[in-house]
Amino acid sequence: MHNNLKNLGAEGTQREEVVRWVGLLFIFLGLTCLIFLFDCGTGSAAEQKGIEIIRPASGAVYEEGEICPIEWAAKGVERVSIAVAVGGKDRGLLEFSDGEYALDARKGLWEWTIPIGFVTSYGLKESHNVRVMVFDADDPKTSVVSDYFTIKGEGKNSEKVTKTDDDFMQAIQSYYDLIGEGKYREAFELIFPEKLTLSFVDGSSVSFGTRQDYYQWLNEIKNIKSTNLVNLKEVPVPDRELAMLGIRCFQVTLKADYKDKRQSLGFSGAATYFIYLVKGSDGKVRILSIGTGP
């Protein structure tokens, strides 16, 4: 009986040891699973963070003054901001309320009223290369850009320069009109063909370079679809001697629509140039140079 009790006690002790170790094993496995689940959960959340644009759809067409619905689905993002670009040029952030440029991402939709003149104020009747970007307002690296869509309007060119009787201004207007109409050879003939160097009594000189080869010049401007000269005014020439020789300088602001919709003229769709002209012995006014500075 004593031996049996001893043996039972030994068996009980062994059983307790087994139970204790099994308990410890479950605790270890439990902690391991918790750590595993935590890591997987964290990684999964990070992988799921993102934004998808639903509208505007590729090729959609909207009119100035109309509502363009911008719809998105976001995961792991609390607030979004929306930017608009035309021809790859940033046109700024959309303002949702006074001074507020971030919106609750869960909203999933913003109805943007396209301002009148959004594209037509740049001399365009329409632009086929408009895109929107929706991005995390707190982490801009998380972003998505829409496909291209179109915005069009009445295309009123109320700011277009009116015709003038000044033959120098007429030459400038004709030059850009002919380019917009695709009459390239006629436009090219309005450029002074030879290099012109003027020397002054003080030893200084001014040179106007030789006209480019026709095909080289054509390659630079053939993608222009239409032109809109919105500002034209005469500015003083830097040298009194130039004025004495009948050379005049004009400042112009040009807006242009390109055949390749990814291309645009300057950041705002417009560019300012300074054009020097002279009247030849044949009585015709020709362009000496076109540059970005006087």
Q: What is the pLDDT of residues 132-166, one digit of tens each?
A: 999 999 999 999 999 999 999 875 444 556 667 78
Residue 245 lies in a domain: yes
Segment 179-201, tens digit of pLDDT: 988 999 999 999 998 888 877 77
Name the domain boundary from 126, 152, 178. 152
- Residues 80 and 107 placed together within one structural domain of the fold: yes
Residue 141 vs residues 83, 87, 105, 137, 219: alpha-carbon distances, Å: 14, 22, 15, 9, 38
* Closest to 280 in 3D by CA, of 167, 143, 162: 167
- CATH code of 115's domain: 2.60.40.10
Share of the chain above pLDDT 90, in %: 38
Name the domain boundary from 120, 152, 184. 152
For the chain, the C-alpha Rg in angstroms (whole number) is 35
pLDDT at residue 142, as a whole number: 94
pLDDT at residue 239, as a whole number: 79
Residue 21 lies in a domain: no
pLDDT at residue 154, as a whole number: 74
Q: 285 or 18: whose pLDDT is higher?
A: 285
Is 225 a residue whose pLDDT tops 80?
yes
Segment 31-45, tens digit of pLDDT: 444 444 444 444 444
- Residues 173 and 111 placed together within one structural domain of the fold: no
